[in-house]
């Protein structure tokens, strides 16, 4: 009887499938992390643009009415923004004064 040794054994196929599964899990994990970072950066950019727009509007709009006499010559205003961190979002208040 002549043995034909063409092809792979079952053990070789199982080992190669296991190696491919491990490598694919690593790449999927990296892809999910990159996607999360991309979404976080998009939120940061969106809030930066909104804050910048509010600050630009504040340069021409005075908030002196209703505040009282602060003895300050210039424009002052506050802009609330959210900064997204890895553990969630934290609200900060940014102040700017122009003399």
- pLDDT tens for the chain, 99 residues long, are 567 778 889 999 999 999 999 999 999 999 999 999 999 998 888 888 888 777 776 654 444 444 444 444 455 545 455 554 555 555 555 444 444
In a domain, 29, yes or no: yes
Q: What is the value of pTM for the model shown?
A: 0.44
In a domain, 4, yes or no: no
Give the domain range for residue 33: 10-98
In a domain, 77, yes or no: yes
In a domain, 1, yes or no: no
State the total domains in the chain. Answer: 1
d(CA 27, CA 59): 48
In 3D space, the residue among 83, 85, 67, 43 whose CA is nearest the CA of residue 93 turns out to be 83
In a domain, 18, yes or no: yes
């Amino acid at each position: 009887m002549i043995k034909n040794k063409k092809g792979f054994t079952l053990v070789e196929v199982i080992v190669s499938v296991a190696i491919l599964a491990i490598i694919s899990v690593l790449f999927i994990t990296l892809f999910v992390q990159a996607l999360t970072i991309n979404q976080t950066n998009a939120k940061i950019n969106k809030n930066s643009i909104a804050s910048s727009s509010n600050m630009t509007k504040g340069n021409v709009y005075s908030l002196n009415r209703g505040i009282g006499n602060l003895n300050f010559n210039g424009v002052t205003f506050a802009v609330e923004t959210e900064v997204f961190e890895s553990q969630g979002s934290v609200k900060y208040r940014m102040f700017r004064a122009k003399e």
